[in-house]
Amino acid sequence: MADLASRITKPSDAPAADAAPAAPAATATAADSTAAEKPIDDGANSVGLVQSTYDVEVKLSDLQADKDSPLYSGVSSFEELGLPKEINDGLLAMNFKKPSKIQERALPLMISDPPTNMIAQSQSGTGKTAAFVLTVLSRVDFSKPQQPQALLLAPSRELARQIQGVIQTIGQFCQNLVVEAAIPGSISRETGVRASIVVGTPGTVMDLIKRRQFDVSQLKVLVIDEADNMLDQQGMGDQCVRVKGLLPKTVQILLFSATFPDKVMNFARKYAGNANEIKLRHQELTVKGISQMYMDCPDETKKYDVLCSLYGLMTIGSSVIFVRTRDSATEIQRRMEADGHKVSALHGAHEGQNRDALLDDFRSGRSKVLITTNVLARGIDVSSVSMVINYDIPMKGFGDKEPDFETYLHRIGRTGRFGRVGVSISFVYDHKSFEALSKIADHYQIDLVQLSPDDWDATEKKVQEVIKSSRARPDYAPNALGN
């Protein structure tokens, strides 16, 4: 307990009012309905950490000029990286003016010949997707639009569809670009894969290759997004190993994630031999634009009441509520709706097209509060998300002994994207949850701001300060999916 208490930010610890808001800081597959869900093929005492008064004045371009920011770029434009004109035109259409740090550092290494493998780490929301998408687009021969040349693997159907959208948008000026999603139900059994770029989940991709509906003989690039999760031996590691075993030996392998725990890193190095590596130091992992807070709930049953009290704040922007199981997602949705709140719930028990529709509604703002499981913890990019709630602290496994450090970071990373600011609120209610959050705070060396359910005025003030400044950021580039 004392650990977390010692990490509560006191007013005197808060950053000076002229500090930049989003400079870098110290910096889970199908389960039964009651088990913790992971994505798989089918998942105060302080003033606010970020002050609205200065946030509105700080522009994305300022952040991209700050050497310490993960959005920093040493070059003044993408053109300096030597990408083909039609790709630069796509970036311009997206209003991407300058590369971020990971884009500037990784791209030249990835697009050069002979192709070299890459293991790349960068904080959540810093543009990893465009980094590997640009590499893929620069390697594809568009005169063979139906010949698979690049394969991208992601841990959930939602992330695979999102990446497909980014490729289509950045590649909108590439003649004959054909991108298909290899997710359950998407590829016709009669035709099989007929695209130069395929984005899929490992199980479906494996099935298509085995049924000879996906010709992998001319694949040049394999990208694994969320690679630490995908290569984890407890999860999809086996499938990823089998997929790689079926590809040409010359394939260039690109592994990307915001987190690479040591034990997975060792395996990643074997998976992508002789790779260039771009790694972050431990204390660089979290994103400073995210104000991390926690709510000390009186007991487990009161967590629900506290959640409902936060509803007004959740709907200033958009919010994601992470819970441990599919059952609790459904149950909380039922109760909140019965209490008059408009919320939706998305998890792995839902049928694929229903999941797609739910996420599309959330992206477009038709729904503003989404209850979900770890299935959406990673990669999902919805720029309007200003609040993330950890209703349940992420834990490693069924024994519930250790917190899941990586999942915590990915969950809160659904807000604070590319220089924006956002709030995460983690609920604690007993010794175990308190201790788990303490360990997370220690692990990332972060100061968590305490919120009290007994002082709503103070809570509202702290949260609103951040969220309102988030909405005010003036020059955020709209992304591929119309966020």
Ligand X SMILES: Nc1ncnc2c1ncn2[C@@H]1O[C@H](COP(=O)(O)OP(=O)(O)OP(=O)(O)O)[C@@H](O)[C@H]1O
**Contacting positions for ligand X (CB under 6 A):** 96, 98-100, 103, 122, 124-130, 258, 379, 381, 383, 413, 417-418, 477, 479
- Closer to ligand X by CB, 193 or 385: give it: 385
Please tell me the distance from the alpha carbon of residue 164 to that of residue 379, in angstroms, as a whole number. Answer: 13
Please tell me the distance from the alpha carbon of residue 61 to that of residue 53, in angstroms, as a whole number. Answer: 18
- Closer to ligand X by CB, 154 or 436: give it: 154
Classify each residue of 283-320 as buried b or exposed e, where b means 16 or more C-beta atoms within 10 Å of its C-beta.
ebbbbbbbbbbbbbbeeeeebbebbbebbebbbbbbbb
Q: Closest separation between CB of residue 347 and ligand X, Å?
A: 19
- Closer to ligand X by CB, 90 or 403: give it: 90
- Closer to ligand X by CB, 39 or 125: give it: 125
Cβ contact 472:421 at 8 Å: no
Cβ contact 152:117 at 8 Å: no
**138 Cβ neighbours under 8 A, 6+ residues apart:** 83, 84, 87, 111
- Closer to ligand X by CB, 84 or 192: give it: 84
**241 Cβ neighbours under 8 A, 6+ residues apart:** 271
What are the backbone dihedrals phi and psi of residue 63, each rounded to the nearest 5 degrees, phi first? -65, -35
Q: Closest separation between CB of residue 364 and ligand X, Å?
A: 15
Q: Closest separation between CB of residue 363 and ligand X, Å?
A: 11
From the CB of residue 350, how many other CB atoms can be counted at a distance below 10 Å?
Answer: 18
Q: Closest separation between CB of residue 296 and ligand X, Å?
A: 28
- Closer to ligand X by CB, 85 or 189: give it: 85
Q: Closest separation between CB of residue 120 and ligand X, Å?
A: 10
Chain-centroid distance, C-alpha 195: 26
- Closer to ligand X by CB, 291 or 479: give it: 479
- Beta bridge partners of residue 121, listed in sequence order: 257
Q: Closest separation between CB of residue 450 and ligand X, Å?
A: 26
Order the strands of the 449-451 sheet from edge to edge.
Answer: 344-346, 369-372, 318-322, 385-390, 422-428, 290-296, 449-451
Q: Closest separation between CB of residue 381 and ligand X, Å?
A: 4
